[in-house]
A and B are shown apart, each in its own frame.
Chain A
C-alpha cells in the first residue's frame, strides 16, 4: 500500500480534469464554437465592408466618436486601421463572452459539485484539498487561452497585422484568466453555486461598466478594471505589454486569496455563512405563486437592484452625450443636423440603443426565472409539489406568471433607473415618463423570450437550453447584426427586430400587440404541453 508516492494537496487533479472533459464533451465545444465562431465570423466580415481608405476613415470619424461605442466597447486605438476596426467590433462580444464562459464553466466544476454532494464522493478518494480548485483554474485558463488563440488566428486569417493580432488575443485570454481567478474566489465565499455565479457575474458587470464609464469620460477609471487593462495593451496601436503584468498580478493575488480561503474552510462551507431562517412558513407560502416567489426571491432582488443601478449609470451619462458634438463637429455632419436638433438626434440614438440593450439583458433574467421549472423538475422537487393537490397547470402557470410579471416590474425599474440617473446627472427631473415609456416600448420582446422558455418547458423539456440559445442569438443580432450582414430572415428571429426603435422612430402599435399575442400563445402552448407530457421528463 505504501508503494505510492506521498500525496500532496493537489493529488488527483489529472483524474478530475479528465472527468471535467468527459462531462463537458458537449458543453465545451458549444462554448468554443459559439463564442469562437462569432469572433471568427466578425473578424472576417470587417475587411470586405471597409475596402477603401475612405470607408476606414469614415469608421474612425463616426464610431470613433460614438458615446455608445465608448460605453460598450471602450476606447479602442487604431480605428483608422482595419485591425482597430475589427478589435472594436468584436471586443464587446469577445470580452463579455470570455468572462461569462469562464465564470459558468469554473463554478460548474467547483462550487456546484460541492453543493450537489458529488464532490464529497470524490473527496473520499485520493484527492488533495486544492485539487478541485486547481482543476478549475487549469480548465478556466485553458479555455481562455483557446478562445484567445482562436481570436488571434481569425485576425491573422482576416489579413491583419500579426503583432496587433497577437497582442489582442493575448489581452483577451488574460482577461479570461483574471476572471477565472475572480470566480475561484467567489466559489470560496458563497456556499451555493447560484450565489457564486451571482458574485462572479457581478464582478464581470462592475469591471465592464467601470471601463465603459472611464472610456466615455476619458479618465483614469479605465485603469481600475481588468477590461481596461486588456484594452490598455493597445493592440493595433502602440502595442505595449506592461498592462499584461497588471492582469497577471491581479490573477496571482486572487489565487493566493482563494487558496488561503480554501485551506481554512470546511467542505461545503463558505465565508458567507447561511443564516437560520424562520421556523414556520409565512402566509405567502400557501399557494404555488407564493412558493415560486419565495424560491426566486434572491434572483428577483438581485436582478432588480442590478438593473436599477445599470439604468442609473446609463441615465447619468445621457447629459454628457451632446458634448461630443462640441468636441467633434463632424458628428453633426453625419447626423445631417446641427445645433439643438443634432444634439437631440444623438441622444435619441443613444437612448434607443440603451433601451434595447437593457431589454436584451432582461431576457437573461426571464429565461433563468422561467427555467427554474425545469431545474425543479430535474432535481426531483417538482414531483413532491405535484404529489399534493396542486395541479400541473397551476404549478407551471404560477412560475411563468411570476417570471413575466417580474419582467414587467424590472422594465419599469430600468426605466426609473434611467430617469433617476438622468436627473442626478442633469438636475432635470422631467424625464421620468419618457424613460419609462421608452423602456416599456421594448417589453414585448423580453416577454416573448420568457414565453418561449415556457413553451419549451412544456413541449420540449430536454431542449430548454434552446431558450438560452435564443438569448445568445438576440444579443448577437443586436450587437453584431449589421456587421455580419445577417439576412433579414435571420434577424427577424429576434422579436426586438420587429419593434419600433423608440425614440428614434415613432411607436408602432401593431408589432407591439402582435408580440404580446405571440407571448400569450407560447405560454398557452407550454401549459398545454406540460399537461400532456410526463411530469418528470428525463
Chain B
C-alpha cells in the first residue's frame, strides 16, 4: 500500500514553477530517498505533504488522507524534521522537544532519554546558544523520540558531524525495522545510498527517475577496466560501448548495462589478464542525470 501518493502535482509561486507535474509514490515500510539539487522542489513537495502549501492541481494522498484538509488529523501519525531549524531563543532544547512532542500527542520517555544520549545533546541549554548542528539535533530528537507511522525528513543531517550522521543512519534503520515509512530528502548521496530502498530524483519540480538503486543502475552504464593480451582495438565497434580509452593493453570504457554481456564476450576473445567492473555510484548516476540533461 502506498503511504504517499502524489500525482501530477503543480505548484507555482507567481511565475516560478516550483512543482511541475510531479509524481511520487512512497510504499509502506520503505525508506525513500528523495534526491535533487537546491531549488529542485524537495522542500516544496514536503510542505505540500504537510498541508502547509496547497497544490494548484493534481492529487495528493498521504496516510490515506488529504494533507490539506486533514492536516491536523494526519499529523498524529507523522513526524517532521526541517533542514533549517529555527527555535525559540528563550526556551531550552529540552523544552522545545517536549512542546513539539506534546503537540504531536505525546512521546516515548525512554526513547527521548535514549535519543538525547545518542545524539549527545544537552537539553538544559537555551536554544539561542545552540549551534546549527545542535538545533538540528533538537528537531531530530523531537521527531525520533515520537512513535510515528511516517517520518518526513527534509535534509535532516545538515550541520551534523560524521559521528552524529552515523547515529542518525542507525536510528533510521531501526525505525524501518519497526515498520515505519521514511521519506528522506537529501543531497548527501552516501546517506541515501546507505539507507534508501528506493530513490526518486527530482529536477526542476519534476521526478525524472524513480526506482531501486539496482533499477537505476540498470538504466545506466557500468565502467569496465581490463587488461588483455592483445590491444582491444575492436571494442569501440561493440554496440552500447561508450568512451573507450586504449593505452597499450589496457582499456577503459563505459557500457550500457543491457550490453554488458556483449562487451565482456568481446574482451574474452582477446585473452583477459585482469578485469574490473563497477556499477555507477549514486553520485555518478546523479551527475549523469543532470549532465545528460545539460548536454541535451
A267: which B residues are within 8 A, CB to CB? 47, 52-53
The reply on B33 being an interface residue by CB < 8 A is: no
| Set B14, B70, B103, B126: member contacting A125, Cβ < 8 A | B103
Instruction: Map CB proximity to A onto B238-280 as digits: 1 under 8 Å, 0 otherwise.
Output: 0000000000000000000000000000000000000000000
Contact A116–B91 (Cβ < 8 Å): no
Contact B50–A123 (Cβ < 8 Å): yes
Among A226-267, those with CB < 8 Å from B are 266-267
Instruction: Map CB proximity to A onto B71-113 as digits: 1 under 8 Å, 0 otherwise.
Output: 1110111111010111111110001000110111100000000
If over half of A's interface residues share one DSSP class (helix, strand or loop), that class is named, otherwise mixed; here it is loop
B139: which A residues are within 8 A, CB to CB? 121
A532: which B residues are within 8 A, CB to CB? none
Contacts A6-B73, A118-B86, A121-B139 given; does A126 touch B99 at CB 8 Å? no
B84: which A residues are within 8 A, CB to CB? 117
Contact B80–A121 (Cβ < 8 Å): yes
Contact B76–A122 (Cβ < 8 Å): no
The reply on A11 being an interface residue by CB < 8 A is: yes
Contact A23–B91 (Cβ < 8 Å): yes
Instruction: Map CB proximity to B onto A527-538 as digits: 1 under 8 Å, 0 otherwise.
Output: 000000000001
Contact B72–A127 (Cβ < 8 Å): yes
Give, as a whole number of angstroms, the nearest-CB distance from B15 to chain A: 8
Instruction: Map CB proximity to B onto A398-432 as digits: 1 under 8 Å, 0 otherwise.
Output: 00000000000000000000000000000000000
A125: which B residues are within 8 A, CB to CB? 75, 100, 103-105
The reply on A329 being an interface residue by CB < 8 A is: no
The reply on A1 being an interface residue by CB < 8 A is: yes
| Set A15, A118, A126: member contacting B75, Cβ < 8 A | A126
User: How many angstroms between the C-alpha atoms of A123 and B104 in the bound complex?
Assistant: 10
User: How many angstroms between the C-alpha atoms of A8 and B88 in the bound complex?
Assistant: 26
| Set B14, B70, B73, B79: member contacting A273, Cβ < 8 A | B14
A127: which B residues are within 8 A, CB to CB? 71-72, 75, 103
User: How many angstroms between the C-alpha atoms of A125 and B105 in the bound complex?
Assistant: 8
Contact A126–B85 (Cβ < 8 Å): no
Contacts A127-B75, A128-B72, A276-B14 given; does A122 touch B103 at CB 8 Å? yes
Give, as a whole number of angstroms, the nearest-CB distance from A483 to chain B: 36
Give, as a whole number of angstroms, the nearest-CB distance from B230 to chain A: 58
Contacts A267-B47, A538-B129 given; does A121 touch B75 at CB 8 Å? no
User: How many angstroms between the C-alpha atoms of A117 and B102 in the bound complex?
Assistant: 19
User: How many angstroms between the C-alpha atoms of A6 and B69 in the bound complex?
Assistant: 12
Contacts A15-B99, A123-B50 given; does A22 touch B91 at CB 8 Å? yes
Contact A4–B105 (Cβ < 8 Å): yes
Cβ-closest chain B residue relative to A276 = B14
B78: which A residues are within 8 A, CB to CB? 124
The reply on A19 being an interface residue by CB < 8 A is: yes
B53: which A residues are within 8 A, CB to CB? 266-267
Contacts A118-B86, A276-B14 given; does A266 touch B54 at CB 8 Å? yes
Give, as a whole number of angstroms, the nearest-CB distance from A118 to chain B: 5
A15: which B residues are within 8 A, CB to CB? 99, 102-103
The reply on A129 being an interface residue by CB < 8 A is: yes
The reply on A7 being an interface residue by CB < 8 A is: yes
Cβ-closest chain B residue relative to A1 = B77
User: How many angstroms between the C-alpha atoms of A126 and B103 in the bound complex?
Assistant: 6
Contact A118–B87 (Cβ < 8 Å): yes
A11: which B residues are within 8 A, CB to CB? 72-73
Contacts A121-B82, A126-B105 given; does A538 touch B128 at CB 8 Å? yes
User: How many angstroms between the C-alpha atoms of A79 and B149 in the bound complex?
Assistant: 68
The reply on B199 being an interface residue by CB < 8 A is: no
Contact A117–B90 (Cβ < 8 Å): no
A266: which B residues are within 8 A, CB to CB? 52-54
User: How many angstroms between the C-alpha atoms of A4 and B84 in the bound complex?
Assistant: 31
Cβ-closest chain B residue relative to A128 = B72
Give, as a whole number of angstroms, the nearest-CB distance from B110 to chain A: 20
| Set B52, B87, B89, B100: member contacting A268, Cβ < 8 A | B52
Among B103-159, those with CB < 8 Å from A are 103-105, 126, 128-129, 139, 149, 152
Cβ-closest chain B residue relative to A5 = B73
User: How many angstroms between the C-alpha atoms of A9 and B88 in the bound complex?
Assistant: 24
Contact B71–A120 (Cβ < 8 Å): no
The reply on A383 being an interface residue by CB < 8 A is: no
Contact B70–A7 (Cβ < 8 Å): yes
Instruction: Map CB proximity to A onto B43-68 as digits: 1 under 8 Å, 0 otherwise.
Output: 00001001111100000000000000
User: How many angstroms between the C-alpha atoms of A205 and B77 in the bound complex?
Assistant: 46
A117: which B residues are within 8 A, CB to CB? 82, 84, 86
Give, as a whole number of angstroms, the nearest-CB distance from A41 to chain B: 29
Contact B72–A126 (Cβ < 8 Å): yes
The reply on A330 being an interface residue by CB < 8 A is: no
Contact A126–B100 (Cβ < 8 Å): no
Cβ-closest chain A residue relative to B84 = A117
User: How many angstroms between the C-alpha atoms of A123 and B68 in the bound complex?
Assistant: 12
Cβ-closest chain A residue relative to B101 = A125
Contact A116–B86 (Cβ < 8 Å): yes
User: How many angstroms between the C-alpha atoms of A128 and B128 in the bound complex?
Assistant: 28
Among A107-147, those with CB < 8 Å from B are 116-118, 120-129, 131
A19: which B residues are within 8 A, CB to CB? 99
A538: which B residues are within 8 A, CB to CB? 126, 128-129
User: How many angstroms between the C-alpha atoms of A251 and B129 in the bound complex?
Assistant: 41
B99: which A residues are within 8 A, CB to CB? 15, 19
Cβ-closest chain A residue relative to B75 = A126
Contact A23–B82 (Cβ < 8 Å): no
Interface residues of chain B, those whose CB is within 8 Å of chain A, are 14, 47, 50-54, 70-73, 75-80, 82, 84-91, 95, 99-100, 102-105, 126, 128-129, 139, 149, 152
Q: A118-B88, A126-B72 provided; 14 other pairs, C-beta below 8 A?
A: A6-B73, A15-B102, A15-B103, A116-B86, A118-B87, A121-B86, A123-B51, A123-B71, A124-B80, A126-B103, A126-B105, A127-B103, A266-B52, A267-B47
Q: Would you list the 7 A-B pairs with minimal beta carbon distance, nearest first?
A: A267-B52, A124-B80, A7-B72, A125-B103, A7-B73, A125-B104, A117-B86
Can you report 19 A-B residue pairs in the complex whose CB atoms are below 8 A from each other? A23-B91, A117-B82, A117-B86, A118-B86, A121-B82, A121-B85, A121-B86, A123-B51, A123-B52, A124-B50, A124-B80, A125-B104, A129-B72, A266-B53, A267-B52, A268-B52, A273-B14, A378-B89, A538-B126
